[in-house]
A and B are shown apart, each in its own frame.
Chain A
Amino acid sequence: MEHKIRVLVAKPGLDGHDRGAKVLARAFMEAGMEVIYTGIRRTPEQIAEVARQEDVDVVALSCLSGAHNTLFPKVVDLLREKGMGDVLVVGGGVIPDEDVPFLKAHGIEEVFGPGTPLATSVEYIRTHVNREA
């Protein structure tokens, strides 16, 4: 059996807008990936711990409240602490372009803004996921 890509679609922060996260989860599923969805209002600690227990290859963070600069890097730090630095972390939501360099410098490898085609996100994950050695 081939290695199935496992993705954690996670919503850190307090906003309840999960339309994008759910649409993305469904697109990943239809692209043959296994998707674990956290539901809304999760803390970085919960997200990192679930990523560890579920042995995911990708953590896709979605936040529309504007708290991304605080929350996304926290998730990355916690993943590294747990020895999961090789997990691909991507982000999306209402994220101004000017915040993107900051997020990239803090381990969010790609940021998908509003209007990103689903196929683009799917393809990015397929080509950038770190296969375990």
Chain B
Amino acid sequence: MYEKETIGKLKAAKAVWQERVDRIQSGKSSKPYTDRASTSGIDVGLVYTPEDVADMDYMRDLGFPGEYPYTRGYQATMYRGRLWTMRQYAGFATVEESNKRYKYLLGQGQTGLSIAFDLPTQLGLDADHPLAEGEVGKVGVSVSSLADLEVLFDGIPLDQVSTSMTINAPAAVLLAMYIALARRRGISPDKLDGTIQNDILKEYSSRGTYIFPPAPSMRITNDIFAYCSKEVPNWNTISISGYHMREAGCTAVQEVAFTLADGIAYVDAAIKAGLDVDSFAARLSFFFNAHNNLLEEVAKFRAARRMWAHIMKERFHAQNPKSMMLRFHTQTAGCTLTSQQPDNNIVRVTLQALAAVLGGTQSLHTNSRDEALSLPTEDSVRIALRTQQIIGFESGVTDTVDPLAGSFYIEAMTNRIEEEAWKYITKIDELGGAVKAIENGFIQQEIQKASYQYQLEIESGKRIIVGVNRFQVDEKPARNLMHIDSALYEKRRGELAAMKAGRDGAKVQAALARLKQTAEGNANLMPGVIEAVDAYATLGEVCDVLRSVFGEYESDASF
């Protein structure tokens, strides 16, 4: 970006300056500097200059917003055209209560829904399963059949909202229910807009809600890609997630590397299954974490966007520019929330949300201050949403696209993150790709190492967490927390029994038998799943059929 001569002069000047800095003694008005590294272990210089970005070529490395390699954003107008989608992840207890919360959020100016399911649902277990006791409705809403989804979306126009569902192993089943519900309301599936997380690889490596082994899981993913490309073209068929790996303790560099490696694995699998890259790649979306280190995070998002563009163009030879665009949802880092002085979390979330916006996110969930303690109360959720609105409407950071571009530090950091992330991707390629790297525990071990390191830094005081290892106060136990009634299990058992009594049992059995046949063969699973859930076959029943064919995955715990 700069003339050689300019850089040469600068180098000499910086050497002189550096010498002066190195001579600084501890005194009243000045202090010598200490070494710093980013959370990914990248050394951070005391100051950045054009020298640090001397090799940068503006058009090659940054370009314009909406143009390859999309470093500055995937749309030309970004937030000047339209703000990101404010999408608060919510869902708890019963479908009735969650429905009320969704309507409340839409009334407060939220622009998209994000459904949190409880763990039995996420694991393909009906609410009356013995393992569901104590878990029903705890971390999200309990959905066991189409009947539940009918109530969950009561009064919400499916063709006018975009709905994101955090569902992975049984993603096909929940998507099928959503499609069946739309059809019953006379809405054509091609009018549906939304996302299923559907990212099974990160379940194996960090989040833990897997059901089937990797091979059949990848088949289900491919079936969803293929089905949606024809029938539900506006649906984001996957949200390839680094979020949970970061929550599990990996670094920013690892988050980028492991997420993109997973992305490569999905694209590889789909191409192997016979899909044309441009038929599905534009519907791939991503999901990242926004952690505490503001500028490193901004650089992370920019690096990820540029890397994915290169991967799609050069590795997979995509032709459609849309296939090269990394679009992503961001959630602020749940693991940074502290139970000590919980109001401080509002400030953390603000900084993290700012990172996501400066990094060019397409949608954003801001955590609530009390989430280290329980599910958030309505008050806390409102503050979290207001945080986004203040950034969007008051802060001015949305006035121009990618405002931090050209900062010596941001660009140098973007480059460094990219460099380090490529190293991991190369290593994973050598291991045979992300599926193999997960199967042999490489990715889990890397995450585990980083996580333990981070914890040791907190314990030793090397890393300061306000209110936890410095600036503590005596605290009273938190009050007014959200409570989920454990008796819900009994209530749901009753509801399910009533639903099953009212449906056409023979029709259900026939549909499940047909699904089993399809699963044993190679045909696309989606039509059969839709038929089954439309006959009110339950989530558990459908997943049991698939379990009987595909088997279940048991993880090796890696340390």
Contact = CB atoms under 8 A, between A and B. Distances in A.
A and B touching (C-beta < 8 Å)? Answer: yes
A85 interface: no
A71 B134 contact: yes
A23 B208 contact: no
A13 B372 contact: no
B340 interface: yes
A67 B469 CA distance: 29
Given A22-B448, A67-B135, A69-B486, A98 B209 contact: no
Interface string A11-37: 001111111001101100000000001
B208 A17 contact: yes
A66 B203 CA distance: 20
Interface stretch (A52-60, A76-84, A109-117, A123-131): A109-117
Nearest to A40: B208
A118 B468 CA distance: 13
B135 A114 contact: no
Contacts of A65: 119, 135, 138-139
B502 interface: no
Given A94-B372, A98-B481, A115-B340, A66 B139 contact: yes
B459 A70 contact: no
Interface in B298-337: 335
Interface string B57-72: 0000000000000000
Contacts of B132: 14
Interface in B188-239: 203, 207-210
A18 B447 CA distance: 12
B484 A66 contact: yes
A112 to B, nearest CB: 11
By DSSP majority rule, is chain B's interface helix, strand, loop, or mixed? loop
A12 B138 CA distance: 14
A15 B119 contact: yes
B110 interface: no
Interface string B456-469: 00010000010011
A97 B480 CA distance: 11
Interface string B104-137: 0000000000000001101101000001111100
Nearest to B451: A19
B449 to A, nearest CB: 10
Contact of A18 (B133, B208, B468): B208
Contacts of B373: 94, 96-97
A47 B422 CA distance: 41
Nearest to A12: B134
Contacts of B477: 97-98
Contacts of A94: 372-374
Contacts of A113: 339
Q: Give the one of B134, B469, B477 with max A CB within 10 A.
A: B134
B431 interface: no
B32 to A, nearest CB: 30
B73 interface: no
A46 to B, nearest CB: 11
B455 interface: yes
B486 A40 contact: no
Contacts of B335: 19
A9 to B, nearest CB: 10
A48 B426 CA distance: 44
B559 interface: yes
Contact of A118 (B203, B455, B465): B455
A115 B337 CA distance: 10
A39 B123 CA distance: 16
B478 A23 contact: no
B411 interface: no
B251 to A, nearest CB: 14
Contacts of B451: 19, 22-23
A58 B92 CA distance: 34
Contacts of A26: 452, 559
A88 B448 CA distance: 27
Interface of A: 13-19, 22-23, 25-26, 37, 39-41, 43, 65-67, 69-71, 94, 96-98, 113-115, 117-119
Given A67-B135, A67-B138, A70-B134, 15 more contacts: A14-B119, A14-B132, A14-B209, A17-B207, A23-B455, A40-B208, A41-B123, A66-B138, A66-B139, A69-B134, A71-B134, A96-B481, A97-B477, A114-B339, A115-B340
Kindly list the 4 A-B residue pairs having the minimum CB-CB distance in the complex, ordered from nearest. A16-B208, A70-B134, A97-B477, A67-B134
14 contacts: A13-B119, A14-B209, A16-B207, A18-B208, A19-B248, A19-B335, A25-B559, A26-B452, A39-B555, A40-B555, A96-B478, A97-B478, A115-B339, A117-B469
